[in-house]
Structure 1
Amino acid sequence: MEKEIFFKVDNEQLFQKVKRAIMQLIKHSASQNLNRLPPEAELAVILGVSRTVIRDVLADLESKGFISRRRGIGTIINTHVLEAGARLDIDQEILEVLAQKGYKPSVGNIHFEKISADENIAARLKVDPGEEILQVESVINADGLPAVHITDMLPLRIIQVSYEVQDFERSIFDFMKEKCSEQIESDLSHVKPVNANAKLAEIFQVEIGRALLFLDEVGYTASNVPVLLSQEYFHPAIFDFSVFRRKL
């Protein structure tokens, strides 16, 4: 095992740092045709953290299907789940998913404006009709080809500081962490096929009527207040989605 690929972690955002490190180990081990992780005690030494932290991270990764833990056997790497690509049951950054699929991702065609909430937007974000909304449109490319068209909408009142186009070159969740008073704790998504209209056909460089994958998502705060409406169209030749389900 090549321990030099890992890094020591400090107390800042410890759980997430350890989780990233162990995911790095999982992917590295899978690439070397290794099907198990080291024991908890060894992982704790490698990363310089307590076994409690390691145990919590492994429990989280097991719930997402990346590993399975069996008494007397150890921690098994679920290679078939690693290879699933884009998943609907966990939070994944689109740029990261494209990179994992072997594409060079980039964000372009960014346009943002203030709009007034119509009846539909108001109902879904639980705001009054006419309230100011920030609407951000962008296209995520894969090797220069349009892969995803995204429209994000959030109440203007939750934005605390100024912003510019460069702030939208990353995910809307990064923008909200840096610029907004509210954060997303959960979301509810609906997926369905749609046919490309004239605008989408031009964006994706396909014929009108071409089937696309459509993800309609509302993001909620810890208090279950909706603060983000996202509508995402995916090119089906580049994207498909998987869902991991554990049988009880």
Structure 2
Amino acid sequence: MLRRAPSLTDQVKTHIKDLILQGEFPGGRIPPEMELAEALGVSRTTVRDALSRLEMEGTISRRQGAGTFVNNPVLQIHSRLEEIWGYEAMLEAHGFTPSTRLIETLEISAGDSPYDAATAGDLQLAPDEPLVLVTKLFLENDAPVILTRNSIPRRLIAEPYQADDLGRPLYEFLEQFSRQRLSYYVTDIVPLAADAITADLLKIDPGTPLVSFDEIGYDDSNMPIVKAHSYFRDDLLRLRLLRRRV
């Protein structure tokens, strides 16, 4: 399955954000819509829509009668946790030069998941239905930063694949080999102490506090297509959220 090309509005949004990060707007003031439209060679409507998306994510604010301004504190948030990122891209956004190591791929029965007894129910599988369990590390200079364990229903994988194919970002694998589009996650953020196996993989002491994401990923029709567990070393990667008043 081919990946969808970004819309013109998304391209303009990305370009304007790049200009913001490069400090191209003196005093943090965004030029008027018409001026931006002429500079970028697009319509004013496209610029307005791009600015609206930047405002929704908190990057800019529009002040009545004053103009549009950059929210500098928000620029310190290097990855948007409310968006689906490949973890290599997340680490790059934090200034790292990451690599990925595929630790293990197993085909097991859904009811035999060694890490989560709820996996079969969460993925709407019978206990004897097979799933593929993929364990990966994301590293910076050979130091493990993130550990992931992803469970994919075997029946969803429609195309032949090699083990190395599971090393790519999960959403890419699903699109190419399962013909499934990962639309969104429902995520529980869970603090926990590293067990012996997790600690060994992350090169930390057992019992070290970790931040973890327990997630169920859904397709566009709201069907569960993946169960994901991610474990983050807080001493190497600080996760930050923007919380806005509603």
Q: Same fold (TM over 0.5)?
A: yes
Cα distance in 1 for partners of 2:12, 2:165 equals 27
**Contact 1:126–1:226, Cα closer than 8 Å, also in 2:** yes
Q: What displacement does 1:145 show?
A: 0.6
Say how many residue pairs are matched: 237
Gaps (5+ residues) in structure 1? 1-10
Alignment of 1:35-46 (within 5 A): 35-46=28-39
After superposition, the C-alpha distances for 1:222-242 in whole angstroms (9 at most, x for unaligned) are 222111111000011012222
Q: Given that residues 195 and 211 in structure 1 are in contact (C-alpha distance below 8 angstroms), is that contact kept between their aligned partners in structure 2?
A: yes
Maintained 8 Å contact 1:86/1:239: no
Q: In 2, Cα distance between the equivalents of 1:109 and 1:226?
A: 24
Q: How far apart are 1:87 and its partner, in Å?
A: 4.1
1:174 alignment partner, one of 172, 175, 180: 172
Q: 3-state SS of the aligned residue for 1:107?
A: strand
- Work out the CA distance in 2 between the residues paired with 1:201 and 1:108: 16
- Give the partner amino acid of 1:206: I
Please tell me whether residue 102 in structure 1 is matched to residue 87 in structure 2. no
Q: Deviations over 1:24-62 (max 9, x none)?
A: 1221127x7641222222332333322222222222221
Partner SS for 2:99: strand
Question: Which of 50, 54, 57 is equivalent to 2:43?
Answer: 50
CA drift at 1:215? 0.8
Aligned to 1:240: 238
Say what the alpha-carbon RMSD is for the aligned residues. 2.2
Give the match for residue 207 of structure 1. 205
Matches within 5 A, 1:41-190: 41-118=34-111, 120-190=118-188
Cα 1:23–1:167 shift into 2, 3 Å: farther
- Distance, in Å, in 2 between the alignment partners of 1:104 and 1:148 is 14
State the AA in 1 paired with 2:22: H
Question: Which residue of structure 2 aligns with residue 226 of structure 1?
Answer: 224
Q: Percent identity?
A: 32
Match of 1:20 in 2: 14
CA contact (8 A) 2:102 2:164 kept: no
Matched residue type, 2:182: I
Change (3 A) 1:12 1:84: closer
**Residue 120 of structure 2 aligns to a residue in which SS?**
helix
- Within 2, Cα distance between the matches of 1:183 and 1:177? 5
SS at match of 1:29: coil
CA distance in 2, matches of 1:168, 1:29: 38
Structure 2 CA distance for aligned equivalents of residues 39 and 161 of structure 1: 49
Distance 1:79-1:164 versus aligned 2 partners, 3 A rule: farther
